[in-house]
Structure 1
Amino acid sequence: MNRKTLVLPAVAGLLAPLLAACGGSEDARAITVGTTDQFIVTEDAPAPLDPAYAYDTGAWNILRQTVQTLLHVPRGGGEPVPEAAQTCGFSDKASESYRCTLRSGLTFADGTPITAEDVKFSIERVLKIKSDNGTAALLSNIDTIETQGTDGIVFHLKTPDATFPYKLSTPVAGILSKDKYAADKLRDGFDVDGSGPYTMKVEHEGDKATRFVFTKNPAYKGDITLRNDKVELRPFADSDAMGAALEHDDIDMMARSLSQKQIKDLTETPKEKIRVTEVPGLEIRYLGFNTEAPSVEQKAVRQAMAAVVDRGALVNLVYGPTAEPLYSLIPSSITGHATPFFDEYGEPDPARAAKILKDAGVKTPVKVTLNYTTDHYGAETAKEFEALKNQLVASELFDAKVQGAEWSTFRTAQKRGDYAVYGLGWFPDYPDPDNYIAPFLDSGNFLNTPYVNETVREKLIPRSRRQADRNAASPVYAQIQKIIAKDVPVLPLWQGKQYVAARDDLNGVEYALNTSSDLLLWELGRGTA
């Protein structure tokens, strides 16, 4: 059904002045955004939207609309600024003590006052639950939390950490109500309650969410300015279905994830009343390894794969101009970027890979299975992994095959260690080199990897965090990246660009998706404003 037949009479009168300015009563309908992210409750992941568990872009895009944090990254990027807080800052030169004062009159959406105790409860809850999703690792450097009156809170850190304000701006540090969330267990299902700019209702069919409806929270007090009163987020099975909905005016915008073909078609042959916008992006894709799995436990096998993979050919075949080869975990636009994998292995060289394997006494061909998720990163993922398999097989050093699984199954199996080789993407929690290193190599990491390098974990990561001037940390990140290139616990492949497509009566599109792929739905509006 075309959404233009849907009217919201209850709010039409309230919006009349705005509608007159923006061009007609039709603007009263909710803005609808499409996504290919899937939201499923499973036995292994019964609480996909609990801040103590959620650690993927799709889930965080729900939480950012509904759960408030002490700080947030402002439009256009930069250092975090106060959101639920009135003020925040380090109270010592060593970056070990961080103090915030809450805004006056802050309440949850149901009207319950928010105090410093609620902040303390919420963050201690994450650390106590310590889910296997790696979420708690972002806050694991907190030693103690001290409240000062009803509105003051001090975080005492174990070691200096100049990146701590960024971590407080992520949904893992969302402020929750003791009445809605238990202190020692996850909240199952899709319900989310907080003090963010919107309240949320979810529609679902069985264990799968089919629509999220965000309505302006009248109790909200914070740094965000809402340009709409209601937004819907609608999951689609794939980018083609999402694109058809946009073309038929059933949705206003599609964000995550457009296929390479859609981007090409919309750019070269624009459709009437639809425009495509490129926005800055910091996504990376990589292969991860279970370094205890028999097929890849020998470092030589992983090094040989690094010497064989042709990133340029992969990108050209599958992604075209929407991606570029990556020779580091840290993308080119982030401080600390280098090219350690190119420096170590150079251009793809099967002869060199063969020597690496021979010198290590590894019999060839090495049997490997490349595991990928079929429904989380876009339509091209299957083609990408088929291309990777073909490159490995063509070297005559590997007997490779591919295996796909839905995200709900894939992620659980990956964390459990079922896969020797697997493909993942990373959208940064915050735009700092630390967030391209610690989630893969620090304790309690996102990958749940058995790989441990004590020098990186105990010395280099803490040293990098002492630098308030992040440019000054670059030499430390260069050391870390050289170690990664030699040990190959992960193999970076490419970094991508971001695109959104929207109806031409929607504005604010260029601000609605930031470099970390966070959806900022409050930026969207109708008309020419």
Structure 2
Amino acid sequence: MNRKTLVLPAIIGLLAPVLAACGATGSGGEGGDAIVVGTTDQFAATKDTPAPFDPAFAYDAGVWNILRQTVQTLMRIPRGGGAPVPEAASRCGFTDTQNESFRCKLRSGLKFPGGEAITADVVKFSLERVVKIKDSSGPSGLLTNIDTIETNGDSEIVFHLKTPDATFPYKLSTPAAGIVDPKAYEATKVRDGFEISASGPYTVKAETKGNKVTSAVFTKNPDYQGDLKVLNDKVELRSFPDADAMEKALKDGEISMMTRTLTPEQIERMSENQEEGIDLVEMPGLEIRYLGFTTDKAPVKDKAVRQAMAAIIDRGELAGKVYPATAEPLYSNIPASIAGHQNSFFNKYGEPNRKKAANMLSAAGISTPVKFTLNYTTDHYGVATEKEFEVLKEQLNASALFDVDIKGTEWTKFRENQNRGDYAVYGMGWFPDFPDADSYVAPFLDEGNFLNSPYVNSEIRTKLIPESRSAADRGAASAPFERIQEIVANDVPLLPLWQGKQYVAARDDVTGVEWSVTSSADLQLWELGRGV
């Protein structure tokens, strides 16, 4: 086994011309058997999640990876990262200096499988239904800044925004802005089940057992019109109950590649013990883990409790014990590799300090030990999550300032409970909607946020987020983001824990592995092929 390491998105971009020319011996899988990719992501249709593959409902990294293969968007993030480029559109751009009007021209020949033409009205329908449906767990918040959508003939569409937003092209690259067939989707109701009717590089057929998907088979869409080059005819994404079963399938040759989520133990073992014919590939990662708080719920209603937790938790010990070599301590809601990051929590709280935490609680008149339950999901972020919460419990209880229990719940029920506000304290992970600091701020702190959080800071919502979005040069948005991070460190509506790296393992006859997962954990299955 060879271990390959790709360190920074910027480096990937510089290497793109070189790597793109290496390794492949042909069209990679065309005309042959499907390239089988393993995942521990689980996809289920339940009473509470009846429409897991509907772009108006889906807002999860695993499901978005299904949609990215099948649902075409006006824009896309290019292969090596950077600013979005046209996809279903032939050209797009702001038409004013205030970043309030965004115009796109559709590619000619766009159509759904079966021949139905895609027009500007179809695009308008697709995005408006996400906003109209406004599912409480869905991605509508990405599109709510749209004021009106204007069409000009069949091929031109103009988005008029309520406020300036230089990140809008990024939002048009997400599955939330996916183009769907109006004949298969209702304007005000989600589409139950696992069918997808769209115009992306693949069509998909879900193989199911009961209410769960066991595999999703992606077949190259002959009607696809876009700028992606599809290097295979068929890819199967197969779900496994755990990472060990997925690894066994890789070693037995049943699958060609394993993606999220490899365990820290697997990564360490595969790094140290080389196995012939299998490569472990390290990639840049933008995943973060954090504790969330229902800030109007006892006992965390008083921010002194949240601040004391921030002063007690030892992120270095947590990452070292649970995620050795695969995670780094995180001291902000914005990860270290994103422009605008600063170590706001470390600046305020420093190293773990029991005395500082005790003084905070005493000054607020809070009796100790403070008792509550740390809630986590058992089946969404990998098997190491339980150990992570055991370590957090040990750290908090060892201070004698807290009396903490932990409780694990399967994801579908956990997400429903969290969204309803049942948990005072809960653990979550986050993969960005797009690689920009805005994607670590608005989903947690803006109106209609992903967490359904009761926390409101008017300076963040009415001044700092709008100010950050007015900067066309995203590097120039650092000042408002730095102020946001200071507020978050003081108020602690969420408590960042660690930032992760990404790993995939693949058999060495598969090409394009280094391009198959982006730093935002987006699968790009069209990059995979067969070769040396």
TM range (shorter): over 0.9
Equivalent positions of 1:313-332 (< 5 A) are 313-332=317-336
Q: Distance in 1 between matches of 2:299 and 2:488?
A: 19
Alignment of 1:233-272 (within 5 A): 233-272=237-276
The yes-or-no answer on 1:361 pairing with 2:365 is: yes
Q: CA deviation at 1:378?
A: 1.1
Find the counterpart in structure 1 of residue 74 from structure 2: 70
Asked if the contact 1:327–1:340 (Cα under 8 Å) also holds between the matched residues in 2, the reply is yes
Q: In 2, Cα distance between the equivalents of 1:470 and 1:81? A: 16
> Which of 424, 430, 452 is equivalent to 2:428?
424
Change (3 A) 1:24 1:366: closer
Distance 1:364 1:25, change over 3 A: closer
CA contact (8 A) 1:296 1:302 kept: yes
- What SS does the corresponding residue of 1:108 show, helix, strand or coil? coil
* CA-to-aligned-CA distance 1:44-71 (integer Å, 9 cap, x gap): 1111111001000000000001100001
The 1:416/1:66 distance shift into structure 2, 3 A limit, reads same
Give 2:105's aligned residue.
101
- Decide whether aligned partners of structure 1 residues 394 and 25 sit closer, same or farther in structure 2, where only a CA change above 3 A counts: closer
Query: What corresponds to 1:291 in structure 2?
Result: 295
Deviation at 1:140, TM superposition (A): 0.8
CA shift at 1:26, angstroms?
A: 11
**Per-residue deviation, 1:514:** 0.2
Tell me what 1:5 maps to: none
- Which digits, 9 at most, give the CA deviation of each residue in 1:64-104, with x for residues without a partner? 01100001001010111110001100001110000000000
Matched, 1:479 2:479: no
After superposition, the Cα gap between the structure-2 partners of 1:227 and 1:189, relative to the gap in structure 1 and judged at 3 Å, is same
Give the aligned partner of residue 18 of structure 2.
Answer: none
Q: How far did residue 27 of structure 1 move?
A: 7.9
Alpha-carbon distance in structure 2 between the residues aligned to 1:329 and 1:122: 31
- Give, in whole Å, the separation in 2 of the partners of 1:524 and 1:247: 19
Whether 1:466 aligns to 2:467 is no
Matched, 1:122 2:126: yes
Tell me how far apart the structure 1 counterparts of residues 276 and 417 of structure 2 sit (CA, whole Å). Answer: 44
Match of 1:145 among 118, 128, 149: 149
1:521 maps to 2:528: no
C-alpha contact 1:291 1:420 (8 A) present in aligned 2: yes
> Which residue identity lines up with residue 180 of structure 1 in the other structure?
A
Q: Give the match for residue 505 of structure 1.
A: 509
Is the 2:28–2:511 Cα contact (8 Å) retained in structure 1?
no
Structure 2 Cα separation of the partners of residues 134 and 298 of structure 1: 29
How does 1:126-137 map onto structure 2 within 5 Å?
A: 126-137=130-141
User: Residue 38 of structure 1 aligns to which amino acid in structure 2?
Assistant: Q
For normalisation by structure 1, the TM-score amounts to 0.95
Q: d(CA) in 1 for partners of 2:522 and 2:140?
A: 19
Distance 1:23 1:52, change over 3 A: closer
2:506 counterpart SS class = strand
Report the CA distance between 1:25 and its aligned residue.
Answer: 9.6
Paired residues of 2:84 and 2:173 also in contact (CA < 8 A): yes
Q: TM-score under structure 2 normalisation?
A: 0.94
Partners of 1:57 and 1:275 in 2: how far apart?
24
Q: Say whether the 8 Å CA contact 2:28–2:232 is kept in structure 1.
A: no
2:310 corresponds to which of 306, 330, 335: 306
1:448 has 2:452 as partner: yes
- Please give the secondary structure, in 2, of the residue aligned with 1:321: coil
Percent identity for Structure 1 against Structure 2: 63
Matched position secondary structure for 2:325: helix
Q: In the TM superposition, what is the alpha-carbon distance from 1:368 to its structure 2 partner? A: 1.3
- Aligned residue type for 2:332: S
Measure how far apart 1:24 and its partner are. Answer: 11
Question: What is the aligned partner in structure 1 of residue 117 from structure 2?
Answer: 113
- Tell me the amino acid that sits aligned with residue 85 of structure 1: A
Judge conservation of contact 2:361–2:367 (CA < 8 Å) in 1.
yes
Amino acid of the structure 2 residue aligned with 1:467: A
SS in 1 for 2:226: coil
Is the CA contact 1:134–1:448 (under 8 Å) kept in the aligned structure 2? no
Contact 2:446 2:461 in 1 (8 A): yes
Match of 2:278 among 270, 274, 294: 274
User: Does structure 2 conserve the Cα–Cα contact (< 8 Å) formed by 1:134 and 1:444?
Assistant: no
State whether residues 70 and 82 of structure 1, in contact with CA within 8 Å, keep that contact through their aligned partners in structure 2: yes
Equivalent residue letter for 1:96:
E
Aligned residue in 2 for 1:198 = 202
1:42-81 aligned at under 5 Å gives the runs: 42-81=46-85
Which position in structure 2 is the counterpart of 1:164?
168
Give the structure 1 partner of residue 340 of structure 2. 336
Structure 1: give runs of 5+ residues left out of the alignment.
Answer: 1-19
> C-alpha displacement at 1:110, in angstroms?
2.0
- Cα offsets for 1:12-37 (capped at 9, x unmatched): xxxxxxxx965999981110001111
Q: Contact between 1:287 and 1:490, CA under 8 Å: does it hold in 2?
A: yes
The answer to whether the Cα contact below 8 Å between 1:146 and 1:155 also exists between their aligned partners in 2 is: yes
Name the CA shift for 1:343/1:26 in 2 (closer, same or farther; >3 Å). closer
Residue identity matched to 1:388: L
**Residue 374 in 1 paired to residue 378 in 2?**
yes
Query: Is the CA contact (8 Å cut-off) linking 2:506 and 2:513 kept in structure 1?
Result: yes
Q: Taking structure 1 as reference, are residues 242 and 333 closer, same or farther at Cα in structure 2, changes over 3 Å only?
A: same
Q: Is the 8 A contact 2:29 2:231 kept in 1?
A: no
* 4+ aligned runs moved over 3 Å, structure 1: 20-27
In the alignment, structure 1 residue 220 sits paired with structure 2 residue 246: no
- The answer for the alignment partner of 1:404 in structure 2 is 408
- For residues 111 and 62 of structure 1, the distance between their equivalents in structure 2, rounded to whole angstroms, comes to 22
* Secondary structure of residue in 1 paired with 2:321: helix
Q: Secondary structure at 1:320's aligned position in 2?
A: coil
Secondary structure at 1:146 match in 2 = strand
Q: Which runs of 5+ in 2 are unaligned?
A: 1-23
Structure-2 residue corresponding to 1:4: none
Residue 14 of structure 2: aligned partner: none
Tell me, yes or no, if structure 1 residue 383 matches structure 2 residue 395.
no
For 1:512 and 1:475, locate their aligned partners in 2 and report how far apart those are by CA, in whole Å.
34
1:378 is paired with a residue whose SS is coil
In 1, the alpha carbon distance for the partners of 2:342 and 2:30 equals: 51
The equivalent residue for 2:177 is 173
Aligned residues, how many? 509
Deviation per CA, 1:460-483: give whole Å up to 9, x if none: 100100001111110111111100
Report the Cα distance in structure 2 between the residues aligned to 1:444 and 1:22, rounded to whole angstroms.
Answer: 47
Distance 1:130 1:40 in 2: 21
Native 8 Å contact 2:280 2:505 kept in 1: yes
2:235 to 231, 251, 254: 231
Q: What is the Cα deviation at residue 134 of structure 1?
A: 4.2
C-alpha distance in structure 2 between counterparts of 1:477 and 1:324, whole Å: 21
